[in-house]
Each structure stands twice: as structure tokens, then as C-alpha cells.
Amino acid sequence: MEQKNKFKKVSACLSNPIWDNLIHRENPIYSRTDDIRTDFARDYTRILHSNGYRRLKTKTQVFFATKNDHICTRIEHVNHVASVSTTIAKHLGLNEELVSAIALGHDIGHAPFGHHGETVIREIIKKEIPDSVFWHEKNSLFFLDKIETLADSNGHEQNMNLTYAVRDGIISHCGEVNENSIFPRQEYIDLEQIQKPNQFQPYTWEGCVVKIADKIAYLGRDIEDAMFFKILNYGNYKELRTILQRHLPDSKIREINNGILIHGFIIDLLKNSSPEKGIQLSPAYLGLMNDIKSFNYSVIYKYWRIESFKDYATVVINTIFKTLIRYFEYQDFKARILLSKENFPILARYFNDWLIKYSNMDLERKEKLKFKNATIYDINNRESYVKCCLDFISGMTDNFALKVYQEIISF
């Protein structure tokens, strides 16, 4: 094994010249005299205790609204990324607590029905608010900045106020790994001004590790689920073995599974990465990653049953949005939502709670409930209300979206 701690001098630590930037919070959070956690450890537990993290257990990774407990969902994926990231960080001498926090929060903003749900919401926004955009990495940052809250020592619900380094790693985890090594950027920028995926590399080496760990974590796991559902045939297994032999002809590996792939990618990355060369894989393992990814896209992600469910998911999201947007037409907005509880008790209850917490619909009620988080929606402005509806939908799990849809279409 290559020398350990090669990145220790450039890690996110107190001696790093940009340390104050890394631990900066938009607003201070309460502290305890006997707290033993670091800033990044506090961020990890804040994300861990959030509703957004809990909802990941029934959000799509690949297979929509799965009812099988052994199939990977989004919550398993983020924990795989955390495991891969911390293993790499520990050997390289990087900050394990920082990569853990980034990994845990990096997919908080995924919509129901995975990347397809993201596409549907993006299309609605493009039609309703042409100058606005939606992509899950930015939505993850938005949810952790503006939506997710935790109660302080006085019982007041406050925004998360995570550190800059964690927030940066979350919005910057997007983009594919290509032939170029990953190096952190030098600029300390306003993260809310990032306009598109992969516009900037992460600000820290730890963020770079999470970015590549995100790709390492899902390749073999998706193959295992496809095997479980008997999606792969003999020809597919033969193709996988051919891919393996093409890139690793001297390898003694005879099967491809998640554990074997993760181990191989991690060891290769540790051998080939350095502060001078960047976080990188060897050409053989980079080629293997790209070919397995192409295999997964063509054989698994385009599988006819998955494609068929996309049509259903499109209808579900559009129906919920059309139902919510109708409220804007009524003069007595608040009364109309309360009245709708007769027909849509689940949707009306949760949307009403959402509006109280995040909009200007009932600020007196918000104060009574000890919601000290930012008010971000103006229900008297149509564009703001559209954004309010779509953000509400984007936070739904697959199962909740389906439950609401059935409520809407049932008489």
C-alpha cells in the first residue's frame, strides 16, 4: 500500500490557511460549554437528525417506490458514499468528519422518483418560471439552508446554519469523473450564485473525495439489485466479464459485486492520488468505471419496466402540482385550503403546515409554533407560490407522492 497521510498538510484542519472560511456559518448556532464535537461533527449530527435525511429511506435510488426491503434506496446510497469517503479520507490524512457530513447531506434535495422526478420538476419550472432552474445538488443546498430546521435549547425551530465547507461539498458533488484529476478550486465564492451542475469543483480536498466516492458507491450496488430482479441475462453477465478483462486483464477477479468493486476502486485511488496529481484513478480503473456506468445505463436504467414507471411518475407529479396551483386562484386562500381537507385531508394537512412554516400566509400562527426559520415564500406572488408548490413536491418521498396522487384521483 502507498504511504498514508499524503494529504495531511492540505486537509481541512486548524492549520489550513482557509480554515476560517471552512467553518464559517451564515448565522451562529447555539453552543454548550460541555460540547465535545467539532464544527463538522455538529453538522453531521444536524443532518442526521433532519427530516430530509429520514425521508431518504423511501426515495428512489434506481427502482421506483420499491416495496422490497433489500433493494437500495437513497438513504442506503448516502451511507455507502459516507463509508467510501471516510475510508479514503482516513488513509489519505483528510478530515473524516467533513467527508461524513458532506456525504450524508449530498442527496437531501433529490425529488421523488429519483432523477426522473428531478427532470419532471425541471420541466414544470421551465414552463412556469423561465429564468429559474432546478437540479438536485442545488436543491440539496437549498433544503439544508432554508427548509430543514432543528429546535434550539429554547424549543425554537431554527435553520440548520451549516458550515461553508459542508455546504460547498454538497452543491459541488455533481458532475462526472473524467480523464482529468480532481483538484479543489481556489476561490471562496457565494454558493447561492452557482448556476449549473459542475460549474465549480469543490473548495476542499474532502469535497473532491466525496465527488468521486459518489460514483464508486453506486456502480456495483445497482448491478446487485438488477441481479435480484433478474433483469440481467446470460449475455449481460458475459458482457460484464468482458468489461472486467478488458481493463484488468491480470486480475484474479471472476465476479463483479459491490464489495469487490468498491475495494478495487478505493485501493486504486489511494495508490494514484496525491496533492500534486489530484484525486484520481488509474487509466485502467477510470476506463472500468466508465464502461460499467455505460453498461448500467443501457441495461439497467433503461430497462422497460423502469421506463414504463417514468410515465406514471410524470402524471403523479404534474397532477399534484396542478392541484396545488389551483389554490392561487381563490381570493380567500387560507380558507380554501382548510376547506379542501374534506376532499384531500392528507395533502391539505401537510401543505397547510408547509405554508405556515415557510410562507407569509399566517405569520401569527408561525410565531406561536416557535418557527424562527426564514420566511421564504410570498403567497400573493404567483412565481413565489409556484416555487413554494414545487419545493413542497420535491421534498416528498415516492410513497407519499403516490398516496397524495391516489387521494386526488379518488372520489
CATH assignment of the domain containing 27? 1.10.3210.10
pLDDT of residue 250: 80
Helices (H), 232-372: 234-247, 258-272, 283-295, 304-325, 333-339, 345-358, 363-368
C-alpha cell of 331?
Answer: 381570493
Asked if the structure places residue 126 within a domain, the reply is no
Task: State which of 240, 270, 301 marks the end of a domain.
Answer: 301
Q: What angle do CA 102, 118, 199 make, to 5 degrees?
A: 55
Residues 311 and 257 in one domain: no
pLDDT of residue 177: 57
CA–CA distance, 366 with 358 (Å, rounded to integer): 9
pLDDT of residue 334: 65
Residues 274 and 320 in one domain: no
Nearest CA to 123 out of 134, 112, 115 is that of: 134
Residues 213 and 347 in one domain: no
Digits of tens for pLDDT over the chain (411 positions)?
A: 567 999 999 999 999 999 999 999 998 887 777 788 899 999 999 999 999 999 999 999 999 988 889 999 999 999 999 999 999 999 999 999 999 999 999 999 999 999 999 999 999 999 999 988 899 999 999 999 999 999 988 899 999 999 999 999 999 988 655 556 899 999 999 999 899 888 999 999 999 999 999 999 998 899 999 999 999 999 999 999 999 999 988 877 667 788 889 999 999 999 999 999 999 999 999 999 999 999 999 999 999 999 999 999 999 999 999 999 988 876 566 666 665 777 889 999 999 999 999 999 999 999 999 999 999 999 999 999 999 999 999 999 999 999 999 999 998
pLDDT of residue 158: 94
- Please give the residue range of the domain that contains residue 182: 8-108+148-301
Residues 237 and 158 in one domain: yes
CA–CA distance, 253 with 65 (Å, rounded to integer): 33
pLDDT of residue 183: 95
Task: State which of 259, 284, 301 marks the end of a domain.
Answer: 301
Residues 166 and 225 in one domain: yes
Residues 216 and 99 in one domain: yes
Nearest CA to 202 out of 224, 221, 177, 228 is that of: 177
Phi, then psi, of 150 in degrees rounded to 5: -135, 150
Number of folded domains in the chain? 2
pLDDT of residue 2: 60
Task: State which of 274, 301, 328 marks the end of a domain.
Answer: 301
Q: What is the dihedral of CA 312, 315, 317, 319, to 10 degrees?
A: -140
Q: Residues near 383 by Cβ (< 8 Å), separated by ≥ 6? A: 128, 129, 132
C-alpha cell of 188?
Answer: 471562496
Nearest CA to 120 out of 381, 297, 383, 319 is that of: 319
